[in-house]
Structure formats: structure tokens, C-alpha cells
């Protein structure tokens, strides 16, 4: 039986264990990364992200000196992003529904890889065309602290521990919410070893 959805904030829902078991997801991530390797993107400000990223699906999120955008092909290879596994689509669709957003069909899956010490500063996911679609965020491997800032990037965030298989869904009035991930603590997870992965499903176009 799936755990009852938990409300982090209005229209921000935690689905504990919704994506478990995660071993098949990790195998699929390894297939994606064999085609489109993880890389540390540059921010428009000239920094380098501590989280390594790749993508699957029709659109992939990219950042460099020119800014943030979605691309249809991997800028490293010029090849289309690897296909999004059907199991990923189904997971995102079902999680969105459970989080109160039926009818979600993702066309982008950003894959984040955290090593201990990696973090994600307060930001919002705002490069997508149609903000009526939610964001579906799947945690895999080492636990992390997910930070929900809400309407502004300042102030003290709501802190939620996200563990292997947990899914967070936000949309509607929360779609513009600022969020981040605190510096990952070291650990050893049975599925991922010393890593945390995160899948972020979006409707980009
Ligand atoms: C993100 O905001 O893109 C990542 C969230 C997470 O890693 O849990
Ligand atoms: Fe995000």
C-alpha cells in the first residue's frame, strides 16, 4: 500500500516511497548516462554546478554562459537526448496524479547526480513554456534535505528529508516556488553507494 501523500506546503506533496524499488531506475539512468554522460554545467554567472547532470526525453535542460534553456540534442555530442524510458513516463504521470495534477505527460527528464558535498542553491524551475504542468521530482539513493522556500528565495526554508524512492510533486500555486537541496552528507546506500540521484520530470514545451 502506498503511503498517504504528505503536504509540505500548499500544492507541494511528498509521496513517500512512491518510486520504490529504485534499482531498475538506477539501471535505466546508467543506460542514459552511457549515451549522454553526466557533466558539470556552467552557470550564466560563470560558476560550475556541483551537481552533475544529464537528460533523457525529447528535451533536455542545459545551462552555459548564454543562459538556461531546453535543447533537443545533447550539446556535447550533437545527438538527440537518449529516449525517456516508458517506465519513467508512467512513474511521472502516476506521481503527478497522486499529487493532484492529472494529465501530466513529461517531455523532459533532468537527471541530477550528487556526490557528498554537492548541493543545489535556491532556484525555481522556470524555463518551461506552460506553467500549468507540475514538476515531479524523484529521489534515489542517499538521503538529502529538500528545501522549500516558497514565493521568495530568502528566508528560512521548510526542510524535508527525502529518501530513496520518495517523490515530491509541486504545481498550481506552488509552481513558481523556490527550492533547493542542502549539501549532501557522506554515506553508503545499498543501491547507489556514495551517490544520490534525482529525476526531475517537466513539461518543457
Ligand atoms: C532540482 O531542483 O532540480 C533538484 C531537486 C532535488 O535534487 O531533489
Ligand atoms: Fe529545481
Confidence of residue 3 (pLDDT cuts 50, 70, 90): confident
Q: The C-alpha cell of 178 is what?
A: 523556490
Ligand number with the minimum distance to the CA of 198: 1
Reduced to 3 states (helix: H, G, I; strand: E, B; else coil), residue 169 is strand
Q: The C-alpha cell of 33 is what?
A: 548516462
**Which pTM does this prediction carry?**
0.98
Ligand number with the minimum distance to the CA of 126: 2
Rounded to 5 degrees, φ, ψ at 161 are -80, 120
110 CA to centre of ligand 1 in angstroms: 9
Residue pLDDT, tens place only, 156-178: 999 999 999 999 999 999 999 99
Look at residue 1 in the predicted model and tell me its pLDDT.
56
Map grid coordinates 520504490 to a residue: 20
CATH (residue range 6-202): 2.60.120.590
55 lines ligand 1 (CB under 6 A): no
> What are the residue ranges spanned by the domains of the chain?
6-202
Q: The C-alpha cell of 117 is what?
A: 558535498
Q: The C-alpha cell of 132 is what?
A: 500549468
**Closest ligand 1 atom to Cα of 112:** 7
111 lines ligand 1 (CB under 6 A): no
180 CA to centre of ligand 1 in angstroms: 6
Ligand number with the minimum distance to the CA of 199: 1
195 lines ligand 1 (CB under 6 A): no
Length of the chain in residues, anyone? 205
Confidence of residue 2 (pLDDT cuts 50, 70, 90): confident
Residue pLDDT, tens place only, 43-100: 999 999 999 999 999 999 999 999 999 999 999 999 999 999 999 999 999 999 999 9
Protein residue whose Cα sits closest to atom 6 of ligand 1 = 198
Q: The C-alpha cell of 42 is what?
A: 556552467
CA pair distance 96, 103, nearest whole angstrom: 8
Contact predicate 56/83, CB 8 Å: yes
Look at residue 44 in the predicted model and tell me its pLDDT.
95
Reduced to 3 states (helix: H, G, I; strand: E, B; else coil), residue 27 is helix
How many Cα atoms are found within 13 Å in the side-chain-facing hemisphere of 132? 6
Amino acid at each position: 500500500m502506498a503511503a498517504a501523500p504528505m503536504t509540505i506546503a500548499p500544492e507541494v506533496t511528498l509521496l513517500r516511497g512512491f518510486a520504490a524499488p529504485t534499482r531498475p531506475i538506477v539501471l535505466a539512468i546508467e543506460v542514459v548516462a552511457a549515451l549522454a554522460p553526466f557533466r558539470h554545467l556552467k552557470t550564466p554567472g560563470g560558476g560550475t554546478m556541483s551537481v552533475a547532470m544529464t537528460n533523457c526525453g525529447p528535451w533536455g535542460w542545459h545551462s552555459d554562459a548564454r543562459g538556461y534553456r531546453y535543447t533537443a540534442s545533447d550539446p556535447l555530442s550533437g545527438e538527440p537526448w537518449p529516449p525517456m524510458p516508458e517506465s519513467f513516463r508512467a512513474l511521472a504521470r502516476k506521481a503527478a496524479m497522486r499529487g493532484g495534477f492529472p494529465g501530466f505527460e513529461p517531455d523532459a527528464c533532468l537527471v541530477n547526480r550528487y556526490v557528498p558535498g554537492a548541493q543545489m542553491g535556491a532556484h525555481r524551475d522556470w524555463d518551461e513554456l506552460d506553467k500549468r504542468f507540475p514538476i515531479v521530482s524523484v529521489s534515489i539513493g542517499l538521503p538529502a534535505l529538500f528545501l522549500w522556500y516558497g514565493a521568495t528565495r530568502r528566508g528560512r526554508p521548510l526542510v524535508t528529508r527525502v529518501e530513496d524512492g520518495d517523490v515530491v510533486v509541486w504545481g498550481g500555486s506552488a509552481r513558481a516556488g523556490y527550492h533547493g537541496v542542502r549539501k549532501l552528507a557522506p554515506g553508503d546506500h545499498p543501491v547507489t553507494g556514495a551517490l544520490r540521484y534525482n529525476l526531475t520530470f517537466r513539461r518543457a514545451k
